[in-house]
Amino acid sequence: MKNASGMALGVAIMSAVSLSVPTEAAAGNCGRASWYALTSMTASGERMDPSKLTAAHRGLRFGTKVEVTNARNGKSVVVRINDRGPFVKGRVIDVSKAAASRLGMIHNGVAKVCYRIIS
């Protein structure tokens, strides 16, 4: 009996530990972001509107909703992927000016962010 309860406690501890340790996939969704405010056509075929909450990503499907969080200040915003990019090494996502404003990154131009897919 002692063994069984010890095992149950061990499983509970392991479960709690695994919840608090970031996975490789989550760590892969962090990096630098920049913002842009062009009014040209996006890769999805729609016109870029700097006042909309949109973003560019190299591989996510157009229409994917992503929550982006500024690692420095904790501010976050949900954006819709409608363009391709960024094409600068070390950057993981480019956000519209409106999204950058909500993230508090207009002045600096770039920020360390993490993102997660919402839908």
Query: For position 58, which CATH number holds?
Result: 2.40.40.10
Distances (CA, A) of 61 to 30, 55, 58, 81, 101: 18, 11, 9, 7, 24
Whether residue 6 lies inside any domain: the answer is: no
pLDDT of amino acid 115:
97
Range(s) of the domain holding residue 85: 27-117
Q: pLDDT of the chain along its 119 residues, tens only?
A: 445 554 444 444 444 433 333 333 455 699 999 999 988 999 999 999 999 999 999 999 999 999 999 999 999 999 999 999 999 999 999 999 999 999 999 999 999 999 999 99
Whether residue 5 lies inside any domain: the answer is: no
pLDDT of amino acid 38:
87
| Structural domains of the chain, count | 1
pLDDT of amino acid 10:
44
Look up residue 59 and give its two tokens. Answer: 């591989």
